[in-house]
Amino acid sequence: MEKNIIYARPNPTSATRPVVFNPEICTGCNKCVNVCQTDVFIPNPIKRKPPIILHPDECWYCSPCIDVCPKDGAITLNYPLMWRIPWKRKDTGKHYWYGMKNPPPPNTRPMP
Amino acid sequence: MTYPAELKWPYPIEYGNETEAATDVLVLGGGIAGCWAAIAAAKDGAKVAIVEKGAVLGSGAGISCDHWQWAITGVPGVKISAEEFTKALLDNHGGYNNGITRYIQAREGYETLLELEEMGGKIRDTEDEFKGAPFRDAKSKFLFAYDYENNLVMRVWGITFKAALYKELKKLGVKIYDRVMATGLLTKDGKQGAKVIGATGVNTRTGQFYIFKSKATILCGARPQCIWAYATEYAGISGARSPSSLGAAYALAWRAGAEFGMMERALQQGTFFSGSPAHGSGHNSNTWYPCTMVDAEGKQIPWVDRDGNVIKNIEDRSRPAPGQKFFIMGGGSSSLPHPGLREYKGPRLKNVDEQLAAGEVTLPLYADLPSMSNHERRAIFGLMVGQEAKTKYTYVNYTKAGFDPDKDLLMSNQQLIGGGGYGTSSSGAKVVVGFPNIRSFSSGVVGGPVIDWDLRTTLEGLYAAGDGIMGGNDHGHAATTGRYVGKRVSRYVKNERQMDANRQQIDKEKARVYAPLKRSEGIGWKELLAGINKAMQTYCGEVKREKLLNMGLMSLADIQNVIESDVYADDPHSLTNILGIIDIHTTAEMILHASLARKASSAYLHFKRGEYPDVDPPDWNKFITITSVNGNVKVGERPLNYWGDIVKNYEANRI
Amino acid sequence: MYKDGNLHQWPYPIRYNQETEVDTDVLILGGGIAGCWAAISAAKSGAKVAIVEKAATITSGAGGSGCDHWINTPNPCSKVTAEDCIDWERENANGYINGISRYIAAKESYDTLLEMEQIGGKIRDTDDEFVGADFRDEQTKFLFAYDYENKFHFRVWGKTFKPALYKECKRLGVKIFDRTMATSLLTDGGKQGTKVIGATGLNSRTGELYIFKAKATVMSMSRHSRNWAFSSELTGLGQFRPNIVGTGYAMAFRAGAQFTLMERSVRGNLSFGISYPSYGTGNAMNTWYPCTIVDANGKEIPWTDRDGKELTDFPQRTHPAKDQKLFAERGMAYKYRRPDITPAMQDRVKKGEFALPLYADMTGMSKMERRAIWGLMVGNEGRTPVPILKTYSQAGFNPDKDMLQNYLMLGGDWLRGENLSYVRIGGEGPGDSGGLVVDWNLKTTLDGLYAAGDSLFAGNYHHHAAATGRYAGRKAADYAKPMNNVKPTRRQINQEKQRIYAPIKRKCGIEWKELNAGLVRVMQNYCGEYKNEELLNIGLTWLKDIEKNVAPNLYAANPHILMRALGVLDILACNRMIIHTSLARKASSTYLGFNRLDHPKIDPPAHHKWVTLQQENGSVKTGELPIDFCGDMESNYEAHK
């Protein structure tokens, strides 16, 4: 097992990753940081790295951060576990969830 | 979650440093109402500044919008007059609504929309995606919701709105102060009740203190939230306004001495723990109207008309009943959790609780989008869910996860966890009980500052628009009233001069604002809020009583001591939070005072007084008002139609 | 938490993956009341004993900070027999009682109490503080609660108990492993369903693994919790007990032991933080019985007897009704129902006869009764000595002059008093919940595994934990005598290591609170107040999905959080057990708080039985046992004791 420094960290809030960054795509432009309604992010002290979610408990999933991001896929909204509503395919009666493994193929139809 | 080893506060700390700014029109709150007010004032030549706690580009409840409600005059296909509609709204609420702003909304909503279109907002089906739909007006390309015969509510592409407003603000040279929370109003000579001459603010990132001088100030903050309940563990669920919308605006105006009305209204809501991503569960109300609902076996839940008769055709969910002129909203949705008149009641689901109890339906329930027409399905899931605030990513995420409205039934969350709020059972489920219904301020018509035909509060120099007015509600209302007041205020300031703020008032405010920083430990903002919530749940719950309300005041007075001696904050962000909670504390006190003053029960106000069980006795059909005068609470009243003849007064005040 | 802008480093040595082996005769899992008694009893029988405790044994568990009542039937001051005790419990629970453990407790609790005294606990009024009180027996100096005529609920100085038990364990050479969370049972050949030969444990400070080898193991890790409700933000007030997660159940279930009553749940109001400190409000129940309650104007709220007739004087609250043999604290059935504040209370408040708020008026009680309630009861009950008695006293509360507010508001439960509606709870609530099936040796269906206390199906109460712990301890010791330790299979240990250390291998992921909150969502939606086959199956499917796809992303930053994360995984296991059992009970039941929309008949005679649950070769198997499977109590007890 790799050597990691362990910290005395206090308990987290329930949903800790309301948004998820893809560090390969994110350029650290911080537009999301600057548009956030509740200012949950802080810029990463290391340049070009994704912002840090300092107050995940204050995120209320309004999503201008996603909208304002110039790079598709850099940031995505991640619903916490207690929010995931299932749906049922009408003809088969099978149930599916957001976030399940082996999901059905994505539906790529854009919004009107 | 990984933390870098050293995590310093990333912004410069500027506690105590003052910045002064002078302007003609100061807009507090950069949401829909605030943006419109600023634009209207600027277009009229005034120098304008907006103070916004978040970032105007993406702030507020109106970051997007699916419905534009109740624009009447000029809208194609509308057969009734603005006056008739406004009267209907007032009737429907037993008189407890705001005749002034509702009439303005009805008269000027359409021209507001057209102005929005000029700015770049998409308000009609320009791409012809919904050509041929029964809810589309072929000529104007407008889309409508609910009552397809009367066109009272439009379906719009609200996701384009805020960005368009923001662009316009920049174009007009409006000065935008993002990340600044307004903390207090400045008054002439620093006296309570005197003319409002500006405001103070604190930067939420640096802690810097702002002194704004203005000739006129417009209050465009949201209504109070989190009075009775709050838990960040159940994040995001608690409603349509962000955790930042704490109703600070009310506390500011109250401290300055403005008069407030209807503060005693609150209701029992199921959305506290039960909500999922807004509109992210199968539904038949509001954003999802008029979706078919089925049970676990695919059996359709019947829809009924206002008399409880089953509606056989889907089309009839979108038309008034025989003999009915129009219906206001249907489905059992948010704005009508109270009785509502038969005259204006729309179609809704047959009472699900009763059917469950009788074994007629099997849980769980689903929204049966596949069974709807192509147009309706696409309008519901794609346009409404998509454009309504916070639902764009419901659409995107579910779609990516494979949800296909052509094939899939989205499960309904409502019946499983107890009704109330959005859902089929508006009074709270009796059969299926899960998470409790919790008292809330936030849905429907609420109390707020009393205004006149200029949308001026009882304080000279202080105006209000949007959610933060007595009776405020919905996007169209915020936009239209914002635009209306902006115009008026810019006229007003032409003959006004700025006044110097009273130094003593500023110093007092600075001391108050920075006090929590004096301590590095103590009671943090969450604990403070939990304490306030506990007091309100205990002493100002569903049935109110004199002794309990007085104990509530006592309890809050005790919390005031805590605020003065124990609260702490250790960075500008948590300082901002705790100042917001302190404003909630003030609002809670206001609610208790208003509740004490109303010595009668009222169905419309969801107000039950244990000692006065008579519901809406005629001599209590009035607005109860409260004002802080020299620090004491003065109770007053105003007749329900205090604004007089709606049409005459509107015309007389027209610009 | 921050030092000069930096996070603190973890203050204990990190020893992830390090193994320590411990050999013992009798292994006690869970160092609460039942566990300590089992340890003492086994040690006194000559066995080598080890206790594995997640917290610190000296004051751990529900009984760790105190106890106010102890039921003794029979006892020298009373005519009430063990059979009476069983009878009232059976009436109350409509037959759903653990006849075995209840009878053992009934027969042996008095002896256990006397042994408690020998060990150092204070069980009688030796300082003569209550001379002359009607609830005191002059000869024995015992004090009584509730039914002063029949004298079988004792008022005791329970705060002294746990520390005394702890001292006794040390004195007897019991090896105590504090801060060690048991994580799995080890079985012969590493197979499910075979003899239990020990357990693994995780140190919650260092992260090291203990491998305990035992000849006999006693499961005393309490019951399940937090299946339907969870909120750690609103802590301290309600029943959120961070340590109780049902790990014992998950462990035993994985090992293949049989369970029953897992489908029982109730409407609870205490459980998730929107309430008040336990017993910290004015009351007339339980710890506060039989306090006078007055309204805001000082008007006394009447008490009524079981027939609804208003009592006319104080002594009637503490004596059975005219043609009643005795009454019990939780006597719900008419036969044993105790006097109570008038049930018409809420209506009379609504009608305006009484004004809210209400208060507990000790000032109007006799000095003795006042002192007994506020001083002895609130003062010795778990979580009341410091949080309530000391805190309120320091704040100036004086029961001679002050009336503590009662939070009964309209629409809420009278007992703990809050004005919010109900939330479903399982093991958090008072009353009995599901647990391990045992025989007259308190042995589970797995050889080598015994159970005591709240882990027993329908287990409840301090004295029950004490008596059954004491009994199980000696049984385990007897069983262990001729045995040898069996070496656990390396494979089973490695599998367990992989399971428990998975969360620390990641740098980020889902945290324990989100997982618990999500699980609560599943149970509230799909195993809530009203159930049906469809809903329950959806619930199982979702749980399976969470287990496969979400749980593997659990992340823990340090050994403490690792302990919490593993605890939530155990909640997931308990949730599956609850849903499986719920599917198997195809009838509704009032006592079980169980409503099947698809089987709405309430308590049909054909379904008056136990539904059992266990795993066999990894698949879940449900079965049933007749309601009285424990057989004739007296003869069985005598044959086995």
Chain A residue at shortest CA distance from C542: A97
Is residue B50 within 8 Å of B514, Cβ to Cβ? no
For an interface test with B, the pick among C516, C529, C595, C599 (most B C-beta atoms closer than 10 Å) comes out as: C529
**Mean pLDDT, chain B, integer:** 86
Instruction: Report which of residues C425 and B81 the model is more confident about.
Output: B81
Nearest to B4 by CA among C558, A50, A16: A50
For an interface test with A, the pick among C501, C510, C534 (most A C-beta atoms closer than 10 Å) comes out as: C510
Residue found under tokens 């509107």: B650
Nearest to C38 by CA among C193, C201, C214: C214
Measure CB to CB from residue C10 to each of A1, A6, A101 and give the nearest one. Answer: A6
Range name among B606-620, C47-61, C325-339 with the lowest pLDDT average: C325-339
Nearest to B104 by CA among B429, B372, B384, B454: B454
Range name among A6-10, B99-103, C78-82, C299-303 with the lowest pLDDT average: A6-10
Chain B residue at shortest CA distance from C231: B233
Does A36 contact B63 at a Cβ distance shorter than 8 Å?
no
User: Quick count: other Cβ atoms within 10 Å of Cβ B317?
Assistant: 24
pLDDT over 70 at B18, yes or no? yes
Does A95 contact C558 at a Cβ distance shorter than 8 Å?
no
Cα→Cα distances C271→B289, B428, B436, Å: 36, 21, 13
Does C534 contact B364 at a Cβ distance shorter than 8 Å?
yes
Nearest to B420 by CA among B411, B407, B429: B429
Q: What percent of chain A has pLDDT over 90?
A: 23
Backbone angles phi, psi at B611, to 5 degrees: -80, -15
Does B7 contact C5 at a Cβ distance shorter than 8 Å?
yes
Q: CA C440, C444, C447, C451 torsion: positive or negative? A: negative
Nearest-neighbour CA in chain A from B429: distance (Å): 20
Residue found under tokens 């049972």: C185
- Cα B454 from chain centre: 21
Mean pLDDT of C166-188: 95
Distance from C-alpha of C433 to C-alpha of B221, rounded to nearest angstrom: 50
Nearest to C260 by CA among C415, C468, C97: C97
Mean pLDDT of A58-65: 82
Q: What percent of chain C has pLDDT over 90?
A: 54
The two structure tokens encoding residue C284: 């007339």
Nearest-neighbour CA in chain A from C536: distance (Å): 13
Q: Which amino acid is at C224?
A: H
pLDDT digits (tens, 9 = 90+) for B595-626: 999 999 988 888 889 889 999 999 999 999 99
DSSP 8-state secondary structure symbol assigned to residue C546: I
* B36 conformational bin, left if phi > 0, alpha if psi -120 to 50, beta if neither: alpha
Nearest to B362 by CA among C183, C522, C596, C11: C596
Distance from C-alpha of C151 to C-alpha of B404, rounded to nearest angstrom: 68
Cα→Cα distances C207→C200, C500, C502, C552, Å: 12, 10, 12, 19
User: Helix (H, G, I), strand (E, B), or coil: what is residue B52?
Assistant: coil
pLDDT for the residue numbered C242: 67
With beta carbons under 8 A apart, name residues in chain B contacting A54: 573
pLDDT over 50 at B236, yes or no? no
pLDDT for the residue numbered B428: 33
With beta carbons under 8 A apart, name residues in chain A contacting C520: 82
Rg of chain A (C-alpha set)? 17
Q: What is the DSSP string of B244-268?
A: T---HHHHHHHHHT-EEE-TT--EE
Is residue A87 within 8 Å of B403, Cβ to Cβ? yes
Distance from C-alpha of B358 to C-alpha of B352, rounded to nearest angstrom: 10
- Cα B432 from chain centre: 29
For an interface test with C, the pick among A81, A92, A95, A102 (most C C-beta atoms closer than 10 Å) comes out as: A81
Measure CB to CB from residue C557 to each of A6, A13, A81 and give the nearest one. Answer: A6
pLDDT for the residue numbered C408: 59
Distance from C-alpha of C252 to C-alpha of C249, rounded to nearest angstrom: 5
pLDDT over 50 at A2, yes or no? no
Is residue B447 within 8 Å of B224, Cβ to Cβ? no
Does A82 contact C510 at a Cβ distance shorter than 8 Å?
no
Give all chains having 3 or more CB-to-CB distances under 8 Å with chain C.
A, B
- Cα B249 from chain centre: 13
Distance from C-alpha of B606 to C-alpha of B543, rounded to nearest angstrom: 10
Measure CB to CB from residue A107 to each of B236, B383, B404 and give the nearest one. Answer: B404
Range name among B145-149, B412-416, C113-117 with the lowest pLDDT average: B412-416
How is chain C split among helix, strand and coil, in percent rounded to 5? 35, 20, 45
Tell me which H or E stretch contains C27. strand C19-29
User: Helix (H, G, I), strand (E, B), or coil: what is residue C564?
Assistant: helix
pLDDT for the residue numbered C558: 86
pLDDT for the residue numbered C277: 67
Measure CB to CB from residue B393 to each of A77, A100, A104 and give the nearest one. Answer: A77
Does A18 contact B179 at a Cβ distance shorter than 8 Å?
no
Nearest-neighbour CA in chain A from C543: distance (Å): 11
Nearest to B210 by CA among B321, B51, B82: B51
Distance from C-alpha of C584 to C-alpha of C6, rounded to nearest angstrom: 54
Measure CB to CB from residue C524 to each of B231, B434, B537 and give the nearest one. Answer: B434
With beta carbons under 8 A apart, name residues in chain A contacting C232: 11, 14
Mean pLDDT of C312-334: 89
pLDDT over 80 at C266, yes or no? no
Nearest to B365 by CA among C530, C229, C593: C530
pLDDT band at B470 (very low <50, low <70, confident <90, very high): confident
pLDDT digits (tens, 9 = 90+) for A8-37: 777 777 778 889 999 999 999 999 998 888
pLDDT band at C268 (very low <50, low <70, confident <90, very high): low
Range name among A74-83, B159-168, B434-443, B539-548 with the lowest pLDDT average: B434-443
Measure CB to CB from residue C420 to each of B231, B436, B548 and give the nearest one. Answer: B436
With beta carbons under 8 A apart, name residues in chain B contacting A98: 397-398, 401, 403
Range name among B353-367, B575-589, C124-138 with the lowest pLDDT average: B353-367
With beta carbons under 8 A apart, name residues in chain C contacting A5: 9
Buried b (16+ CB within 10 A) or exposed e, B101-137: bbbbbbbbbbebbebbbebebbbbbeeeebeebebbb
In sequence order, the β-bridge partners of residue B21 are B212
Measure CB to CB from residue C1 to each of A10, A99, A101 and give the nearest one. Answer: A10
Question: 3-state SS string over C384-447?
Answer: CHHHHHHHHHHCCCCCCCCCEEECCCCCCCCCCCCCCCCEEECCCCCCCCCEECCCCCCECCCC
Is residue B455 within 8 Å of B481, Cβ to Cβ? yes
Per DSSP, helices labelled H in C206-344 are 247-255
Does A100 contact C545 at a Cβ distance shorter than 8 Å?
yes
In the sheet with B632-639, reading across from the earlier edge strand, the strands are: B448-449, B259-261, B622-629, B632-639
Instruction: Report which of residues C101 and B472 the model is more confident about.
Output: C101
pLDDT for the residue numbered C282: 80
Cα→Cα distances C352→B93, B617, C412, Å: 29, 19, 18
pLDDT for the residue numbered C416: 40
pLDDT digits (tens, 9 = 90+) for C196-211: 999 999 998 899 999 9
Q: Which residues of A touch C (CB under 8 A)?
A: 1, 5-17, 80-84, 86, 95, 97, 99-101
Is residue B466 within 8 Å of B472, Cβ to Cβ? yes
pLDDT band at B271 (very low <50, low <70, confident <90, very high): very low
Backbone angles phi, psi at A44, to 5 degrees: -70, 130
pLDDT for the residue numbered B3: 52
User: Helix (H, G, I), strand (E, B), or coil: what is residue C25?
Assistant: strand
Counting DSSP H helices and E strands in chain A, the numbers are: 2, 6
Mean pLDDT of B34-40: 96
The two structure tokens encoding residue B501: 């703020």
Measure CB to CB from residue C423 to each of B231, B432, B436 and give the nearest one. Answer: B436
Does B408 contact A90 at a Cβ distance shorter than 8 Å?
yes
With beta carbons under 8 A apart, name residues in chain A contacting C550: 81, 99
Instruction: Report which of residues C88 and C409 the model is more confident about.
Output: C88
Write the CB contacts of C97 (distance below 8 Å, at least 6 apart in sequence).
Answer: C86, C89, C90, C432, C458
pLDDT for the residue numbered C245: 79
Mean pLDDT of B212-241: 74
Per DSSP, helices labelled H in C14-156 are 33-44, 82-92, 99-119
With beta carbons under 8 A apart, name residues in chain B contacting C355: 545, 547
Write the CB contacts of B377 (distance below 8 Å, at least 6 apart in sequence).
Answer: B369, B370, B405, B406
pLDDT band at B71 (very low <50, low <70, confident <90, very high): very high
With beta carbons under 8 A apart, name residues in chain C contacting B438: 420
Mean pLDDT of C347-357: 83
Write the CB contacts of B34 (distance below 8 Å, at least 6 apart in sequence).
Answer: B27, B28, B50, B52, B56, B60, B218, B220, B465, B466, B482
Does C233 contact B431 at a Cβ distance shorter than 8 Å?
no
pLDDT band at C125 (very low <50, low <70, confident <90, very high): very high
Distance from C-alpha of C28 to C-alpha of C178, rounded to nearest angstrom: 12
Does C296 contact B547 at a Cβ distance shorter than 8 Å?
yes
pLDDT over 90 at C585, yes or no? yes
Does C5 contact B537 at a Cβ distance shorter than 8 Å?
no
With beta carbons under 8 A apart, name residues in chain A contacting C517: 14-15, 80-82
Distance from C-alpha of C120 to C-alpha of C124, rounded to nearest angstrom: 12
pLDDT over 90 at C240, yes or no? no
Nearest-neighbour CA in chain C from B146: distance (Å): 30
pLDDT over 70 at A39, yes or no? yes
Tell me which H or E stretch contains C3. strand C2-3
